């Protein structure tokens, strides 16, 4: 039987080039050959305080952007998580199969607790259980993600195996798909950290809605090491290596070919070329997203349609879970 693919993205900010190269691009290529279900995970977003109006707007913007990456709305289920109450219900059930200790070991929980020390709430703690519910609800066998989500996937697998151990083969045990190149695009301002859409310093990222001038400026100002050689060496030259990865992915070339092409040229010419390559990938997405956002009624209809299809897809697994546990 063909495997189902599931993945999600938080509507906390406009997605970045890192989201695109690490995840969204993969979502689109997988959607050409598989049954794919993708979610704008707004319930995950509220584990950190959000301004209601901004959140409402972002959900629609991110929905439009994901669609604009090239998904075919008729053949892919794209929906907003909070429109499908089954997620919250399954999350509650799975909370009883997730251990306090294992949740406390999650790197993202530790990082977010440090960042939001005044609001270490229970939702932040059980965030990965909601993520597990997302995946298991649809019987997904494959989950395309960036490197940072690997630990959450491992937890989802453990919860599924634990539950199946008690109740029989209810859940499909999911496997992550992490791209070989681009799984961790680094910040342009500090190549020791990942590019993050919630980075307070905008010099660190390229948002998928940035215009060409901004993209070129960000690339030109990207932090690079001293010495002007364009050579791939993540340990010694993390800044240049990150830009080479970005360039290679945006132009479909191998890293060696990129190194050869820019041999003997300074950083200046290379950085401008990176900016041009990024813009050529993002500009059609930007135009398509703008078109979708221009017609709020049509977009609203797509979002509503996605919710209906996701609800129908989630119902059988939830019913089975209720049955086996005696609810």
* Contact positions vs ligand AMP (CB under 6 A): 9-10, 18-19, 22-23, 145-146, 148-149, 183-185, 194-195, 197
10 touches ligand TRP by CB under 6 A:
yes
In the residue annotation, 112 being an active-site residue is answered as yes
DSSP letters spanning 232-263? --TTT-HHHHHHHHHHHHHHT--HHHHHHHTT
Facing residues of 142 across strands?
5, 175
Ranges assigned E (strand) in 41-118: 76-80
In the residue annotation, 3 being an active-site residue is answered as no
Closer to ligand TRP by CB, 143 or 278: give it: 143
What is the helix (H) or strand (E) element at residue 25, kind and residue range?
helix 25-31
In the residue annotation, 194 being an active-site residue is answered as yes
Q: Which of 68, 145, 248, 302 binds ligand TRP (CB under 6 A)?
A: 145
Q: What angle do CA 175, 180, 185 make, to 5 degrees?
A: 105
Residue of 145, 139, 131 lying closest to 98 (CA atoms)? 131
Closer to ligand TRP by CB, 127 or 270: give it: 127
Among 194, 271, 288, 320, the active-site one is: 194
- End-to-end CA distance of the chain: give it in Å, rounded: 30
Neighbours of 26 (CB within 10 A): 21
8 touches ligand TRP by CB under 6 A:
yes
Instruction: For the CB of residue 32, give the shortest distance to ligand TRP in the complex, in Å.
Output: 19
Q: Which of 4, 47, 82, 149 binds ligand TRP (CB under 6 A)?
A: 149
Instruction: For the CB of residue 19, give the shortest distance to ligand AMP in the complex, in Å.
Output: 4
Closer to ligand AMP by CB, 19 or 76: give it: 19
d(CA 95, CA 73): 32
Instruction: For the CB of residue 315, give the shortest distance to ligand AMP in the complex, in Å.
Output: 26
Residues serving a catalytic function are 112, 194, 197
């Amino acid at each position: 039987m063909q495997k189902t693919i599931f993945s999600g993205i938080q509507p906390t900010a406009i997605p970045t080039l890192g989201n695109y190269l690490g995840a969204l691009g993969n979502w689109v290529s997988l959607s050409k050959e598989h049954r794919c279900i993708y979610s704008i995970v707004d319930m995950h977003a509220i584990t950190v305080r959000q301004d209601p109006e901004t959140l409402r707007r972002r959900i629609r913007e991110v929905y439009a952007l994901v669609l604009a990456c090239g998904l075919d709305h008729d053949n892919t289920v794209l929906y907003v998580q909070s429109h499908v109450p089954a997620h919250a219900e399954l999350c509650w059930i799975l909370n009883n199969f997730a251990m306090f200790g294992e949740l406390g070991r999650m790197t993202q929980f530790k990082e977010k607790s440090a960042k939001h020390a005044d609001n270490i709430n229970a939702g932040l703690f059980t965030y990965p259980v909601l993520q597990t519910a997302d995946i298991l609800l649809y019987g997904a066998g494959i989950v395309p993600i960036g490197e940072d989500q690997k630990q959450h996937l491992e937890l989802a697998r453990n919860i599924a195996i634990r539950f199946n151990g008690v109740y029989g083969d209810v859940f499909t045990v999911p496997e992550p798909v992490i791209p070989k190149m681009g799984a961790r695009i680094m910040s342009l301002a500090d190549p020791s950290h990942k590019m993050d859409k919630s980075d307070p310093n905008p010099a660190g990222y390229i948002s998928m809605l940035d215009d060409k001038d901004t993209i070129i400026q960000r690339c030109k100002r990207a932090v690079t090491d001293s010495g002007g050689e364009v050579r791939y060496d993540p340990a010694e030259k993390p800044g240049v290596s990150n830009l080479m990865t970005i360039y290679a992915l945006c132009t479909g070339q191998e890293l060696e070919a990129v190194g050869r092409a820019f041999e003997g040229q300074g950083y200046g010419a290379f950085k401008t070329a990176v900016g041009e390559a990024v813009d050529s990938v993002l500009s059609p997405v930007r135009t398509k997203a703008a078109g979708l956002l221009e017609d709020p009624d049509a977009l609203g209809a797509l979002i509503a349609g996605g919710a209906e299809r996701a609800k129908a897809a989630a119902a059988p697994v939830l019913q089975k879970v209720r049955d086996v546990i005696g609810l």
